[in-house]
């Protein structure tokens, strides 16, 4: 007769759980840091103006642990991952549509390679959302923000030739000032929320907030500054200490300021351009957008394939000759999606973005204030930023990972008491 089943001893079980937790946390930390594009790309580029093809190929090897670890991480939470995907069918539909674009892509090999990273990061985001609570996500985002601002300050002070661009703008641990601006914007919003919910030592969080603000200003990234201001206003509106009258007053003041700003922009565009240190074409973006729209109309239903258009030398050279500057992308996340996946792909993306916002609002309204505020702050920043930057469906970038994680997190089971 078979011996009866005997469960593992508590000590052995505890050790196994600790080992699994250490492996998971190490993997998540690696993914979060590498997704920001900090340090390694800058070291590979050095004092050059761009990465060489050889350096880009070498940097792609940093994705190997992500490609290997993500299926294992998702498999460990398979039931919850499948439930989350079934509750958000638009996400797998959008990913499947992007995968299908390899059939009509003008650069199918490049599209297929980038899709591998895109699918992997999407799956990883779902696994993160079902693995961690809202407070646990904020804790990890806070440590990520600390790493980014401290590392960036170190590069500026210790290696100014690397940490500073030719015009004097800081780029910190990134290859461009806009990368530092994005990181600083993320850090400011995360530190504000971490201070509100006491996620970490207050002196450390306060110092991080001040440092992030300094880096934001020193980066001279106008888009990141605008996104941070929008996020800061939203943070104030979500304050639990505000009564209904104060919140209504702030909303009214915000609408009035927005109306005045819009009127000023229409009547005195030159003054606005001078204030921001930009020309009236938003540093050449308007002519670029006109060109992109024309290319979209050539393939309105399919697009040119996921992340494929700008890799074709003939297209890139035409833009360079026409606009007199080497545009690396559409400088608009929404136009970039339409360029790659056509208007149907953009429609799917917009519906998914709307679903994310609705879920975030519902999460906040139902009492999970921490997760709701975290989602609202980062989602609104994500939406505004993509008006002039192409980061919406980036295959290995931090923003798509954060967006998808928060989309799924706000649609999962009811929150734990500790998250409220």
Cα–Cα distance measured from residue 250 to residue 238, given in angstroms and rounded to the nearest whole number: 11
Place of tokens 């009258």: 245
CB atoms within 10 A of CB 86: 9
pTM score, whole prediction: 0.87
Q: At what angle do helices 202-219 and 177-196 cross, to 10 degrees?
A: 150
Cα–Cα distance measured from residue 345 to residue 351, given in angstroms and rounded to the nearest whole number: 10
Cα–Cα distance measured from residue 294 to residue 296, given in angstroms and rounded to the nearest whole number: 5
Cα–Cα distance measured from residue 144 to residue 200, given in angstroms and rounded to the nearest whole number: 13
Cite the DSSP H helix spans in 36-173: 40-45, 53-60, 64-75, 78-87, 90-100, 108-131, 134-158, 160-163
**Residue 164 gets which letter from DSSP?**
B
Handedness of CA 113, 115, 116, 120 (dihedral sign): positive
Q: Which of 406, 338, 382 is nearest to 98 (CA)?
A: 338
Query: What residues pair up with 170 in beta bridges, in sequence order?
Result: 164
CB atoms within 10 A of CB 366: 13
Query: What residues pair up with 326 in beta bridges, in sequence order?
Result: none
Cα–Cα distance measured from residue 66 to residue 34, given in angstroms and rounded to the nearest whole number: 10
Task: Return the ∠ at Cα 140 (arms to 29 and 170), rounded to 5°.
Answer: 80
Cα–Cα distance measured from residue 92 to residue 336, given in angstroms and rounded to the nearest whole number: 20
The pLDDT tens digits along the chain (420 residues) read 444 433 444 545 778 888 888 999 999 999 999 999 999 999 988 887 778 888 888 888 999 999 999 999 999 999 999 999 999 999 999 999 999 999 999 999 999 999 999 999 999 999 999 999 999 999 999 999 999 999 999 999 999 999 999 888 999 999 989 999 999 999 999 999 999 999 999 999 999 999 999 999 999 988 899 889 989 988 988 888 777 677 667 656 765 665 676 565 445 545 555 555 454 445 567 788 888 888 999 999 999 999 999 888 877 777 766 776 677 788 888 999 999 999 999 999 999 999 999 999 899 888 889 999 999 999 989 988 888 888 889 888 899 999 999 999 998 755 444 444
Q: Which of 116, 125, 114 is nearest to 88 (CA)?
A: 125
What's phi and psi for 240, nearest 5 deg?
A: -70, -15
Task: Return the ∠ at Cα 34 (arms to 129 and 325), rounded to 5°.
Answer: 115
Cα–Cα distance measured from residue 307 to residue 106, given in angstroms and rounded to the nearest whole number: 10
Tokens of 148: 């980014």
Cα–Cα distance measured from residue 191 to residue 149, given in angstroms and rounded to the nearest whole number: 11
- Number of helices (H), then strands (E), belonging to the chain: the values are 19, 0
């Amino acid at each position: 007769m078979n011996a009866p089943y005997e469960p593992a001893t508590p000590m052995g079980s505890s050790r196994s759980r600790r080992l699994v937790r250490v492996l998971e946390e190490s993997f998540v930390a690696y993914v979060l840091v590498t997704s920001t594009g900090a340090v390694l790309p800058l070291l590979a580029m050095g004092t050059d103006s761009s990465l060489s093809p050889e350096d880009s190929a070498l940097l792609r090897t940093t994705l190997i642990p992500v490609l290997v670890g993500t299926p294992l991480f998702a498999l460990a939470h398979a039931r919850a991952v499948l439930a989350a995907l079934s509750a958000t069918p638009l996400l797998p539909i959008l990913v499947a549509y992007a995968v299908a674009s390899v059939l009509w892509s003008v650069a199918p090999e490049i599209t297929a390679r980038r899709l591998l990273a895109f699918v992997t990061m999407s799956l990883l985001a779902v696994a993160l959302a079902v693995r961690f609570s809202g407070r646990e996500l904020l804790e990890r985002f806070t440590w990520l923000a600390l790493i980014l601002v401290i590392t960036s300050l170190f590069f500026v002070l210790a290696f100014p030739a690397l940490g500073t661009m030719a015009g004097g703008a800081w780029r910190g641990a990134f290859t461009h000032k806009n990368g530092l601006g994005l990181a600083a914007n993320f850090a400011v919003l995360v530190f504000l929320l971490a201070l509100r919910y006491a996620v970490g030592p207050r002196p450390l969080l306060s110092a991080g907030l001040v440092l992030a603000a300094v880096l934001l200003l020193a980066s001279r990234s106008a888009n990141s500054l605008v996104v941070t201001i929008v996020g800061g206003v939203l943070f104030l509106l979500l304050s639990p200490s505000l009564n209904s009258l104060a919140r209504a007053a702030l909303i009214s003041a915000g609408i009035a300021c927005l109306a005045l700003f819009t009127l000023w922009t229409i009547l005195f565009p030159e003054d606005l351009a001078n204030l921001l240190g930009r020309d009236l074409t938003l540093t050449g973006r308007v002519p670029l957008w006109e060109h992109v729209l024309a290319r979209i109309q050539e393939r309105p239903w399919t697009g040119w394939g996921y992340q494929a258009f700008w890799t074709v030398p003939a297209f890139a050279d035409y833009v360079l000759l026409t606009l007199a500057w080497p545009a690396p992308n559409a400088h608009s996340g929404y136009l970039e999606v339409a360029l790659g996946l056509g208007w149907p792909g953009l429609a799917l993306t917009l519906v998914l973005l709307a679903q994310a916002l609705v879920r975030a609002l519902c999460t906040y309204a139902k009492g999970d204030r921490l997760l709701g505020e975290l989602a609202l702050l980062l989602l609104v920043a994500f939406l505004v930023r993509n008006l002039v930057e192409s980061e919406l469906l980036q295959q290995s970038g931090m923003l798509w990972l954060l967006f998808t994680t928060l989309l799924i997190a706000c649609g999962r089971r009811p929150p734990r008491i500790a998250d409220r």
